[in-house]
Structure 1
Amino acid sequence: MSILKISCATVNQTPLDWSGNFNHIISAIAQAKEQGTELLCFPELAITAYGSEDLFLSYWFPQKAIKQLEKLLPYCDDITVAVGLPVRIQNKVYNCMAIIENTELKGFVAKQFMAIDGVHYEFRWFTPWQAHEIISFDFFGKEVPLGDIIFEKKGVKYGFEICEDAWRGAERPGYRLKDRKVDIIFNPSASHFAMGKTLQREDLIKESSTIFNVTYFYANLLGNESGRMIFDGEIMVARNGEVLLKNQLLSFKDFQVKTFDYEKNPGPYTPVHTVLNKNEEFVQAAALGLFDYLRKSKSKGFVLSLSGGADSSTIAILVSEMVRRGVKELGLENFLKKLNLDFTPQTDQPEKEIVGQILTTAYQASENSSKSTFESAKTLAESIGAEFLNWKISKEVKSYTKKIEKAIGRKLNWEKDDLALQNIQARARSPIIWLLANLKNALLLSTSNRSEGDVGYATMDGDTSGSISPIAAVDKYFIINWLRWAETHLGYPGLRLVNSLQPTAELRPLENQQTDEADLMPYALIVEIERLAIRDRRSPLDVYLILKDELAIDNDLLKSYVKKFFRLWSRNQWKRERLAPSFHLDEFNVDPKTWYRFPILSGSYEEELKELDTY
């Protein structure tokens, strides 16, 4: 028999949306009560949203969070609720879980370890709490304990490891909680999404349930809170090394509640097993990220320069999937309401009609554009229902080049001015597509990917122009393969022409037969080099020696590719500094605002690259 009905809730929050955040919390509490929940745990910083950044450093922001907590108390009758918020004590701010029982605040548990790797910079805002320390906190005239505390309900003892606390090996609070003989550990988290990361979390909570001999509950935030990080809203329960409960990840809903019947001595149970598909993870996360970004920015839709190539076609499909998946989960009426769309579909293909309302695409032909990419773009746009426009930029390009030729007193030519002549075509497209986006009060979607970000194979103020860059955190090799998967598994026959083309910038004369990989190196090799150089932070020599043994490629050619990668990487940091906001989707990215910081000016690995010649 269950002795305690426990729920975890995930919520999709937004910085400074006090009423929206509050309503999500009280709606989740109401649903939990309907399910008979006695103990409910929300994620960390659920009251304010995790992505509030330097707002945490102010005095008024944590104070308002405390007032929101006070406002929440009356909704917690006949239930115990744990909810996250920042708490300021003099000049320090702590990341805390507040525990409310039957409308009374029982105390705060403070986070002991700060995440400082990858996308996280928690030490900028929060101070770690010391183990064993407990102080008294004045909560509107009532003294309540704050610190390293455990609680009890119906004879069941429970404690907390707040997100990063659980990832600290032998230092983690769970060992001390075990010594205090807790039955349950909650892990309220704000853990960013990355493809495959759910398996790491599963391993953590399964192992934790065994090591500490507890039932381990995990609750993560949900959605694209504030622009870059996406939270998958994961809820899990583990016991005796097995996952017993897991929810649907990356939901389009405002909140989810999952309930578990806790028993001290449970009978047989059925473990939950996760089967991951990286292609599916990518499209679901990016679709949710676009949905939240669109509605939270209060924009009216998207504008996309659709070249007919892999990158822009991927983004078009992601918008289509945003609509398809959102309508399926939320229902047509609620989906339209959340996007503030005053529109009534008239056919039996409402998703296609909605895409036509919110996605405008444009093919912008230069003298070097081919018929095949035009047909590819047009076919794809029409197949998903997007508005398709097209025009030529030849006159604009000629106007720019004639002005500069007159100014410098000579004609431009491809032998001498190759890069400049390529770039002016890409840049000439930017002002007019921005004009279209402004007219429609829409978000301009930038099409650059991570591989191009690595080596600067993108034109600043050209294909990098945009309000948001949805695929800047995934590599081109993945995108090429994902498009083939999407054509078949997601049912997009309009991708057939896209998938038949070899990636090309189409900026040189057609007789040059320009391709991306000829300009750079094979995309599959860029993935291998960046994995070692950027993710693993290896030196050029290390990268070469490792890949020499792993890949069947001529040593001198491999050296040339490694040198090219590091030189281009160093030279193009300024471009990465100017990337439009991008989603964090993979295990790492190259956005200096969220993952990898590198000096704009440097010695460009000159000494390190010379070492390669000695091997």
Structure 2
Amino acid sequence: MSSIKIAGATVNQTPLDWSGNLNRIILAIEEAKRQEVEILCLPELAITGYGSEDLFLSYWYPKKALAQLELLLPHCHEITVAVGLPIRIQDKVYNCVAVIENSEVTGFVAKQFMAIDGVHYEFRWFTPWIANEIVDIEFQGKQVPLGDLTFQHKEIHFGFEICEDAWRGKLRPGYRLCDRQVDLIFNPSASHFAMGKTALRKELVKESSASFDCFYCYANLLGNETGRMIFDGEILLAKSGQLLSRNRLLSYEDFQVKSFYLEPKTQDIAPINSKNEEFVQASALALFDYMRKSRSTGFVLSLSGGADSSSIAILVAEMVKRGISELGLDGFCKKTGIKTIPTSENPEQELMKQILTTAYQGTKNSSEDTFASAESLANSIGATFYHWEIDEEVKSYTTKIEKAIGRKLTWEQDDITLQNIQARSRSPIIWMLANINNALLLSTSNRSEGDVGYATMDGDTSGSISPIAAVDKFFILNWLRWAEKNLDRPGLAKVNSLQPTAELRPLERTQTDEKDLMPYAIIVEIEKLAIRDRRSPMDIYLLLSEEIDLNSTVLKGYIKKFFQLWSRNQWKRERLAPSFHLDEFNVDPKTWYRFPILSGGYAEELAQLDQL
């Protein structure tokens, strides 16, 4: 068996990019041949891309995927290739893997379990296959088996668990494959990135190989495919409970091929990164893919000097730095469509000037500290930096409404109105920069703000994409301190010295985010229990009263405030710009947590807290 060389391959695909998707698969096959691979496994739905959404429901889309499979066959001479695609049989669509041996399809394996939790919605598109069932379908004028199949290559007997199949405990197909005495199980996957998830995958692959006493090979998709989900391109091999190989994740390349001999010895295991490093690594790649796949030339950012906008500026800078490091300067410029390749001694800073345009939009309520913070950070990373005042625009809007209603606006009577008009007045002019530059406007909302609606709709929520909307503010604040030292970003020093504030009230009112809301560390604990774990207000109070040293009345007040603000601000979450899924959960109603726009707002549940 040791003479057999297999490989997992990852590809960065895009729905409806038929020629590009096919070419990347072909390049992966050619690389596998160069590495003398005999069996190559590509990821789940690699031909179409996993994120094709309701395209899977059409009749023509699965049909075209089969046509692409036919185009692939001539490139599979003298190699066995497994590649994912959808297949329609009458009115049902199945998530399948085609097994090609020496340019001929020998069978299709169908996925038996659908992912329906969190960001996944597979039951909308696919029908689960029934264990042990096999049918014949027509392909290229021949009858080809489809269903619960295994295959033979030389002395290797192999089968498949397709992504979710492997996460179903005692029901998983692996047990039946073990009964059939397979030597090798492939797991072609489209498993979304989340911080810390790779450790779970590693244990799954190790335990699977031990339970089934076989080689277990896992191959995941790569990149930001359709805007929200990120795939990390993980490739793993294990045997009898021992991890033998693991690749480097989140590559900027179009594909990776990781090959290994089928022998039970450690080959090459890349280390698992910290949560802080995973965050910047995944976000930077996601921004890179989003920019190039949307055919944009860069990003525009309203840089306030505070934590949120500053963290996004650093993520863009890391995108450029890491992209150049992996692809080379020419390769990075080619993939991003940048025609003028820098020739200076510091090409990274020169590219940053082209790619990221920032603006500090001050008012009479802004401080010198935040301006200095924004300017210092922009200069340190090489971004283009503008600054202007918007008091004239705010005064124009305010004067018009005062004339209309016949009275002056005051902070005592019109606090929210006077705050919001400042945030909204910044939006039109920053959008002008985005339009002028053919660039993506970056929205700066974080998950904690999304929880409680602490953001101005059509103000700081304006944007094409919201890179940090899936992570909480407490994490962002800690990550910035980590990034200053570990990413060598001295421009963050001023940012990290400031207390988070919206700077929308007069300076003498000493506005801070946590004074307006509650401590960010408390918001994190409440949201984990409320949103991630779906606990009731009473459950949350009983749990946190044991875990947090806080006055019971204060804790009840925080819980009430969270649920009241959460309920009345669902409409804002419905309108937030697309965001990357980065953590174990998020509050995006399109991908993770649906909640009614109109509701009773937990009135009875919150009233019960007062009865304790």
Q: Is the aligned partner of 1:145 residue 2:145? A: yes
**Match of residue 464 from structure 1:** 461
Tell me which stretches of 4 or more aligned residues in structure 1 moved more than 2 Å. 268-276
Q: CA deviation at 1:155?
A: 1.4
Q: Distance in 1 between matches of 2:512 and 2:239?
A: 53
Q: Which amino acid counterpart does residue 300 of structure 1 have in structure 2?
A: T
Name which of structure 1's ranges 525-534 and 343-352 shifts more when overlaid on structure 2: 343-352
The residue that corresponds to 1:23 in the other structure is: 23
Cα deviations by residue, 1:398-422 (Å, 9 ceiling, x for unpaired) = 1111111111111000000001100
Letter in 2 for 1:338: K
- Asked if structure 2 preserves the Cα contact closer than 8 Å seen for 1:221 and 1:233, the reply is yes
Partner of 2:58: 58
1:28-76 superposed Cα distances (whole Å, 9 cap, x missing partner): 0000000000000000000000011011011111110000000000000
* 8 Å Cα contact 2:246/2:270 also seen in 1: no
Q: Distance in 1 between matches of 2:60 and 2:140?
A: 15
Paired residues for 1:192-591 under 5 Å: 192-263=192-263, 266=264, 268-269=265-266, 272=269, 274-591=271-588
8 Å CA contact retained: 1:87, 1:94: yes
CA-CA distance at 1:272 after TM superposition: 4.0
Give the drift of 1:345. Answer: 1.5
Maintained 8 Å contact 1:21/1:47: yes
SS of 2:478's equivalent in the other structure is: helix
1:277 Cα deviation from its structure 2 partner: 0.6
Q: Name the SS for the 1:216 alignment partner.
A: strand
1:471/1:366 Cα in 2 relative to 1: closer, same or farther (>3 Å)?
same
Cα distance, 1:344 vs structure 2 = 2.5
The structure-2 alpha-carbon separation of the partners of 1:241 and 1:49, relative to structure 1 and needing over 3 Å to count, comes to same
Query: Is the 8 Å Cα contact of residues 302 and 358 (structure 1) preserved in structure 2?
Result: yes
**Which residue is equivalent to 1:49?**
49
Q: State the alpha-carbon separation in 2 of the partners of residues 598 and 516 from structure 1.
A: 25
Which amino acid is the alignment partner of residue 468 of structure 2? Answer: I
1:262-320 residue CA offsets vs partner (Å, 9 max, x unmatched): 14xx4x54684744311100000000000000000000110000000000000000000
Structure 1 pair 24–600 and aligned structure 2 pair: CA distance change class (3 A): same
Q: Secondary structure at the match of 2:176?
A: helix
Structure 1 CA distance for aligned equivalents of residues 220 and 174 of structure 2:
18
Partner Cα distance (1:243, 1:420) in 2: 58
1:165 matched to 2:165? The reply is yes
**What percentage of aligned pairs have identical amino acids?**
72
How far residue 3 of structure 1 moved from its aligned partner, in angstroms, is 2.8
One-letter amino acid of the counterpart of residue 81, structure 1? V
2:84 is aligned to 84
Superposition deviation, residue 517 in structure 1: 0.3
Match of 1:175 in 2: 175
The Cα of 1:243 is off from its aligned counterpart by: 1.0
RMSD, aligned α-carbons:
0.9
Q: d(CA) in 1 for partners of 2:551 and 2:340?
A: 59
Matches of 2:310 and 2:242, distance apart in 1: 41
| Structural mapping, 1:30-41, within 5 Å | 30-41=30-41
Question: Residues of 2 paired with 1:94 and 1:346: CA distance?
Answer: 51
| SS class of match (2:591) | coil
Mapped contact 2:499–2:512 kept (Cα < 8 A): yes
Q: Take 1:383 and 1:139, find their aligned partners in 2: how far apart are those partners?
A: 59
SS in 2 for 1:186: strand
1:304-356 CA deviation, whole Å, 9 max, x = no partner?
00000000000000000000000000010000000110113132211111010
Secondary structure of residue in 2 paired with 1:414 = coil
Query: 1 CA distance for matches of 2:243 and 2:343?
Result: 45
C-alpha deviation, 1:197, in angstroms: 0.1
Q: Distance in 2 between the 1:345 and 1:272 partners? A: 36
2:129 counterpart letter in structure 1: W
Q: Secondary structure at the match of 1:87?
A: strand
TM-score by length of 1: 0.99
Q: Do 2:236 and 2:246's aligned partners in 1 also have CA atoms closer than 8 Å?
A: yes
Match of 1:606 among 583, 603, 608: 603
Q: What amino acid is the match of 2:146?
A: L
SS of the residue corresponding to residue 585 of structure 1 reads coil
Alignment deviations for residues 491-538 of structure 1 (CA, whole Å, 9 cap, x no partner): 111111000000000000000110000000000110000010000000
Mind listing any 5+ residue stretches in structure 1 that lack a counterpart? none
CA offset digits 1:105-133 (Å, max 9, x no partner): 10100000000000000001101000011
Distance (Å, rounded) in 2 between the aligned partners of 1:280 and 1:398: 44
Deviation track 1:3-38 (CA, whole Å, cap 9, x = no partner) reads 310000000000000111011000000000000000
1: distance between equivalents of 2:185 and 2:341? 48
Pair 1:2-2:5 in alignment: no
Structure-2 residue corresponding to 1:94: 94
In the alignment, is the contact (CA less than 8 A) between 2:330 and 2:341 conserved in 1?
no
Q: Distance in 2 between matches of 1:458 and 1:299?
A: 26
SS of aligned partner of 2:459 = coil
SS at match of 2:136: strand
**Paired AA for residue 370 in structure 1:** S
- Cα 1:269–1:441, aligned 2, differ >3 Å: closer, same or farther? closer
The residue that corresponds to 2:74 in the other structure is: 74
Structure 2 CA distance, aligned partners of 1:545 and 1:434?
46
Summarize deviations over 1:363-422 as a string: whole Å, max 9, x none: 001121111101100010011000000111101101111111111111000000001100
Q: CA deviation at 1:580?
A: 0.3
Q: Give the aligned partner of residue 188 of structure 2.
A: 188
Instruction: Quote the Cα distance in structure 1 between the aligned partners of 2:565 and 2:453.
Output: 7
**1:2 offset after TM fit, Å?**
1.7
Q: What is the rounded CA distance, in whole Å, between the counterparts of 1:380 and 1:280 in structure 2?
A: 20
Q: Secondary structure at the match of 1:84?
A: strand
Aligned length: 612
Partner of 1:527, secondary structure, is: helix
Q: Which letter does structure 2 place at the counterpart of 1:438?
A: N
One-letter amino acid matched to 2:529: L
Cα distance in structure 2, aligned partners of 1:173 and 1:137: 22
| Separation in 1, partners of 2:272, 2:468 | 24
Whether 2:120 is the aligned partner of 1:120: answer yes
